[in-house]
Structure 1
Amino acid sequence: MAHNNPWPDEGNTGHIWDEDIRELDNPPPLWWMLSLYAGFVMMVFYALYYPTIPLKDSHFEGLAGWTQIEEYKEDKAVLENWRKAKFAEQEEQLAALSVDEILKNDELKTYAVKTSKVLFGDYCAACHGAGGQGNPNFPVLADDDWLWGGKPAQIKASISNGRVGNMPARGMMGNLSDEEIGQVADYVIALSEGNADQPKYAAGKAVYTKGMCLACHGPAGKPLAPAGATNLTDGVWRFSGDRDEVIKTITYGVNVKKGGELTENTRKAVMPAFKERLPDPEVNIKRLAVYVYSLGGGQ
């Protein structure tokens, strides 16, 4: 930078490089200044036209009365009307056919599955996982272990009416001692591992019979019919297969109530009914039943 200014009357700032490169002090072009002033005018217009000014308890709604919510509703209505027109035939078929009939129609089944993903994410994934893989203390939907049956009509009934698990505390009428609960817990874990016939589990097997566990879970640990009881032989656990957790389930039961209230430490296993929660439940329950069945665990 030069210390001497060879062009003192030029209107430069005195900053000179490489002998003749100067920084001038000329005013901005007129078009640039007009754009700057126009920008300030637009800021005032924008602030008055749109809801941009916060107030003490609310906000200035703007002269246009425009809101993002209204625009969203308008755009959503356009999209929904387009969908109704484009997929009217498929929706009519979903409403008219049973879940079994939908599953037999590959094209309609594919449509039901694709249009169920968002619905499943909104209403089911919080408990059952985004892909039906389950979450802690909630059932997996992608295997072949079903408490209430995995046939299409049974899945539809579960979604529609909900399910409430039930298991008495400490065996039938609470007639098991702590020692017996430990023995039957070991036997139940052995059933899941396929080695329950070993002599060391004989005491637990006797308790299994005494406590009337077989009434729900079957003589060999496998329920004779899907009615809410777990299959104890497949290694799939509704809560946990850890010994302490199995003991807790046997000790305190599932959804055990006293005086109309759940008892302390009892397992909570409730699936709400969705026939009054879902939009357009008549169609969407069937849609979800097809989706759940298609996750891979449908019987």
Structure 2
Amino acid sequence: MKLVLKSMPELSLRSELPPVEDWTQRNQILAALTRLDLRAGDLWPAYFGQGGNCSEVEIDAYLNGALSLPAMDQDLLACAVNDVSEAAGGPALVPSSWDSATPVTPGLPGHPAADLGAAGRFLLPPEGAEAERLSALLKTGLLDSSPEQRFDRIVRDVRKFFSVSITAVSLIADDRQFTKSIVGAAAHDVPRDVAFCNETVRTNALLVVPDARADGRFSANPFVLGEPHIRFYAGFPLHGRLGWNIGALDVIDQKPRDFSTQDQRKLRGFARRIQQEIDA
């Protein structure tokens, strides 16, 4: 069945956005597939690789408005679209359901793309997109805040599950990485340009570095060559209002390691718990 992009209801630029798990997310997925010249069958392998259980027929029915899906499967479809887009060198196009409805307060007065949130960042100049991202971070109230058990508890669970030396919730400000929660021996605040988390924020996707010394992006990084001698890194993006990527849940170790599909799903689950605390 060929996907047909249905028109979205018109929204006032200053109206309140509906939850993305309703018609918005489905139409954003459809719009992204149209932009990428893909059909449901092209998306299904990436969706299945994310851990989805629905069939290709069910996905097709959902995208054409004939079937409802649980929020988790909608999120997995959104992640699959973003993975396909980013693999082709494009941006992430669809937010997840944790990007809850909030009144729009544009950071770029008069620029309608600002009202689209992260989904419209490719329409903004780079400095405008970064201003919107930083605004979303500041609105969480987490930057430079004190440690909190609600985050520390999850970070300890992550370290125990993966048996690694360091786990952290990191937030990327304009020129530095602020560590909201950390377990293990590592610096709490570091320059943005050497923070592994900054790459996760830039790509807005799961980042896995099996061996940093063999990865040209990080082989000369001071935290690879010196303390804490990072070899393995995995980071899953965390979001502020309107889907802007503000940081990551980080997993770090001093020895190279593989990171299976099951590991990726588990990290995604831990990140969802952190995201719920950010949104609380």
Tell me whether the two structures share a fold, i.e. TM-score over 0.5.
Answer: no
Length-normalised TM-score, structure 1: 0.22
Higher normalized contact order (CA 8 Å, seq sep 6+, divided by chain length):
1
Higher Cα Rg, which structure: 1
Structure with more of its chain in strand, by fraction: 2
Length-normalised TM-score, structure 2: 0.23
